[in-house]
Structure 1
């Protein structure tokens, strides 16, 4: 009798453990075919709720993402065809990589346009097995041109093509990359750079790590460019990796003249390092000295500019954009914001799509039960992004630039600090503001791309806009 009682107790204990685990496992499963509009719950940020509720009814909004295109007619000023391949390729510095290319190389071709140009890019997928897209990182294109599989288009399958058309209205330094299985495809080479309104002799420096080897423009180690002493140069630095890079110029003082494609107001001379978030860009301006060369440093790689002696290394101090430069009008009034959102990043143990682990959370919720930030066109939006997850996160909002208002409660006092990608360190909190002036359904995610694939992503959706595209399904869309 005692033996049976013991077995019953053991069975009860086992069921008490397994039943809740089975429930948590089952409720964590993500459908293999769903609309982004069905994710999570609507967050209206204290503003009025929309005429269309979330869920199935949202699919009947007045405007489809597919209709929010760039110019459909007109001869392009810049026309480029990019052929995506899975292949082994050789870096300019000689190392072999088994990954992805665009027109046979990685990084892919530099696209240059003048402000106001009509840009047309045709993506042809020759052999990328999971499909591919092109996202124009930092360029606030019309929503249908944003290149996010399952949200703004279907992934381009092998043998297919997709045409992107947009006006190059924003001068600055940008980059493009796949937004389909992006944690793998970007890592393995499916990206390139795009500059709008730049000079022909500007220096482009795309930082990327292939198979553990950090490169600048695909070159490991040290490289040298012949630049005459006394010449003023603009170095456009792009961080295409998943983590922050300490970069900057050594050998002479420099100015931070633009961040994320936006000019800095009243830049001053600096000699400290610049903390460049994953996905972010910074433009540095300096005069090549007569006595020594300039050096762009990015950890284990560097670019020597000029023929003089090589300078030293970056100092430990860093440029702080919260106070750098001088104030200027914002063009919006955060004090009269229509909506206030909280974006709280955390981490919790549990299941995600049936897999146990430690997973990122947004406002206490695991993907896909995360907030959908709802706005109406014309709104002024204030968002507070806070991080208690134990790791830093470079947060990227598609389709918009936001201005930093404060960090950890300290108000910004320098130049307006406009960003599309913001490094939010652990235990940090930022208040940002932006104008809801680009209708669509926009991703808002961590640009440490494995973090996005682990659930640190949600969307900003406009009133009356819905998407016909689906995640998963026959097109196998995986936007991460």
Structure 2
């Protein structure tokens, strides 16, 4: 073969390879600014397709704008000593309110360079108060402030954290506890916020074993603010898991010699006698550090059944959320990325609902890693895991650990209009594309990811 012919063949072969790669590269590019509600493709879950006329703005779905707040807090965010702080602390100040009270939080950004928001993790707030940059508000830039106002509807253990560059800002300290009580605080009621700083696990920002506040009985509100699951347990006394993700467990039984898994973003409330000691692994403890139990409590069969308040068999929407992994381009970057229903971000579902819909969702994971899935604005109930029906107390959650090879079927009522993130709470995974949304038909947002505000929710 002559040299010109060989060159022509080589060029043709290169084009045959590079041409499709170039198309996939271009197709993966995400605009510098975009409407999150317009990304991906609509999935109506077999229910009626709703028109988008007469859109209601996310900004109008706010908490009460008038009236004196029952609880009023100002949180000032700063970059100091290699961490991010709120009122010079990390974790930030614990906020406590009683069920039904109006909470007002003024967020001031003194020196966090990328801007900041606050998301009220697990609290079913109105959509405009959800604190997701580029979806429900603009990031609060340096020298600016933003006021959140919402009524806390349910007693329980919750937390707050930044949802702007969240994978970095939460890790570096922008978070705190929010506790909603159903009455006067009981003796022995305290928070244990577990967080890893610089490779060292802490409870409430303190390394190593700490003294447990003296009391005849304890209610310890464990909050996992890290990126992966933790195992916690009580030694020295039986314990009960009395609440999961802010919802009471129906008729919990005593547990001994077993640990309970707390997924990233999740919470469990543990009740035990005065002789008990809490361990969160990694040398972090309230009391004496003890050996970790081998067995794990299964919440699928813990407690006793109770009414759900709705019928999952009457669901109007049926969705699949299939988590996988595949080679491809994500915003022009080649790699091995998380996928949702086979697509790479932004080619992911926008799960579409209407107010009042009963929704069933099947969450499966074949990605090779565990994913703590978090749905904003709603609590769902576990119906089954790997085909085994739930047989204990209703397992209500907003954060669910879905292990590799596992499949959960869950259900919830669409009763909180808005545009809501539904993502992995290993926030690095969300930043790498493991992010979808639940959207109500007819709802639109004037906020944009990117743009002059520099909104970067994950």
- The question of a shared fold, defined as TM-score above 0.5 by the shorter chain, is answered with yes
- Among residues 295, 298, 309, which one is paired with 2:280 in the alignment? 298
Match of 1:21 in 2: 21
Match of 1:257 in 2: 242
Contact 1:251 1:311 in 2 (8 A): no
Match of 2:346 in 1: 368
Contact 2:279 2:289 in 1 (8 A): no
Stretch deviating more after TM superposition (1-10 or 278-287): 1-10
Q: CA deviation at 1:311?
A: 6.9
Q: Which TM-score applies when normalising by structure 2?
A: 0.97
SS of corresponding position for 1:5:
helix
- Among residues 276, 280, 283, which one is paired with 2:262 in the alignment? 276
- Among residues 168, 179, 196, which one is paired with 1:209 in the alignment? 196
Match of 1:314 in 2: 292
Matches within 5 A, 1:343-422: 343-422=321-400
Match of 2:59 in 1: 66
SS of corresponding position for 1:225:
coil
Contact 1:396 1:447 in 2 (8 A): yes
Q: Mind listing any 5+ residue stretches in structure 1 that lack a counterpart?
A: 53-59, 89-97
Match of 1:43 in 2: 43
Q: Return the alpha-carbon distance in structure 1 between the equivalents of residues 115 and 328 of structure 2.
A: 30
Q: Return the alpha-carbon distance in structure 2 between the equivalents of residues 225 and 277 of structure 1.
A: 23
Q: Return the alpha-carbon distance in structure 2 between the equivalents of residues 129 and 334 of structure 1.
A: 45
SS of corresponding position for 1:269:
coil
Q: Return the alpha-carbon distance in structure 1 between the equivalents of residues 363 and 31 of structure 2.
A: 28
The structure-2 alpha-carbon separation of the partners of 1:421 and 1:61, relative to structure 1 and needing over 3 Å to count, comes to farther
Q: Which TM-score applies when normalising by structure 1?
A: 0.93
Give the count of matched residue pairs.
Answer: 454
Q: Mind listing any 5+ residue stretches in structure 2 that lack a counterpart?
A: none
Deviations along 1:17-40, whole A, 9 cap, x unmatched? 111111111111000110012101
1:188 aligns with 2:176: no
Contact 1:113 1:119 in 2 (8 A): yes
- Among residues 431, 437, 441, which one is paired with 2:409 in the alignment? 431
Match of 1:224 in 2: 211
Match of 1:140 in 2: 124
- Among residues 436, 439, 443, which one is paired with 1:458 in the alignment? 436
Stretch deviating more after TM superposition (60-69 or 108-117): 60-69
SS of corresponding position for 1:154:
coil
Match of 1:56 in 2: none
1:245 aligns with 2:230: yes
Q: What is the RMSD of the two structures over their aligned residues, measured on CA atoms?
A: 1.1
Match of 2:77 in 1: 84
SS of corresponding position for 2:9:
helix
Contact 1:344 1:362 in 2 (8 A): yes
1:170 aligns with 2:170: no
Q: Return the alpha-carbon distance in structure 2 between the equivalents of residues 226 and 40 of structure 1.
A: 50
Deviations along 1:23-60, whole A, 9 cap, x unmatched? 111111000110012101110000000122xxxxxxx6
Q: Return the alpha-carbon distance in structure 2 between the equivalents of residues 26 and 211 of structure 1.
A: 38
1:334 aligns with 2:312: yes
Q: CA deviation at 1:273?
A: 0.3
Q: Return the alpha-carbon distance in structure 2 between the equivalents of residues 15 and 168 of structure 1.
A: 59
Contact 1:251 1:312 in 2 (8 A): no
Q: CA deviation at 1:313?
A: 1.8
Q: Return the alpha-carbon distance in structure 1 between the equivalents of residues 443 and 223 of structure 2.
A: 32
SS of corresponding position for 2:436:
strand
Runs of 4+ in structure 1 over 3 Å off: none
SS of corresponding position for 1:37:
helix
SS of corresponding position for 1:414:
coil
Match of 1:100 in 2: 84
Contact 1:387 1:428 in 2 (8 A): yes
Q: Return the alpha-carbon distance in structure 1 between the equivalents of residues 270 and 421 of structure 2.
A: 29
Deviations along 1:351-399, whole A, 9 cap, x unmatched? 1001111111111111111110000000000000001111110000000
Q: CA deviation at 1:303?
A: 2.5
Q: Return the alpha-carbon distance in structure 2 between the equivalents of residues 109 and 281 of structure 1.
A: 18
Contact 2:283 2:289 in 1 (8 A): no
